[in-house]
Amino acid sequence: AQSVAQPEDQVNVAEGNPLTVKCTYSVSGNPYLFWYVQYPNRGLQFLLKYITGDNLVKGSYGFEAEFNKSQTSFHLKKPSALVSDSALYFCAVRDMDTGRRALTFGSGTRLQVQP
């Protein structure tokens, strides 16, 4: 089975400060990991993914994420938050060794960036 946990329902950060949105995963094999963002009344937009290679992955809008196999984590980060980053963020996983699986999503974390 594959699963994702996003332990924080909401993260509050001041504009200009660094932000971290946490994600841990569980798969029986090796993971494909993804971050998506959802703005109000919109679908999900892809931010970044980890497939293999460098543990630090850079994505859209200045976001990055660090894959940590020993901690089974894939935290989303940004050095300097913007008010426009306020949205709902989802982490997702697929077990690499089970090609017929669909993505499994976490419950989402609402990021609120205060001016």
Residues that bind another protein (CB under 8 A): 6, 9, 32, 34, 36, 42-46, 49, 51, 90, 94, 96, 99-108
Angle at 55 between CA 110 and CA 77, to 5 degrees: 25
- Nearest approach in angstroms of CB 17 to another protein is 26
C-alpha to C-alpha distance for 14 and 45, rounded to whole angstroms: 23
Kindly tell me which of 13 and 33 has the beta carbon lying closer to another protein.
Answer: 33
Q: Is 110 exposed, middle or buried (0-12, 13-18, 19+ CB in 10 A)?
A: middle
- Nearest approach in angstroms of CB 47 to another protein is 9
Kindly tell me which of 41 and 70 has the beta carbon lying closer to another protein.
Answer: 41
Kindly tell me which of 102 and 115 has the beta carbon lying closer to another protein.
Answer: 102
Tokens matching residue 29: 């094999």
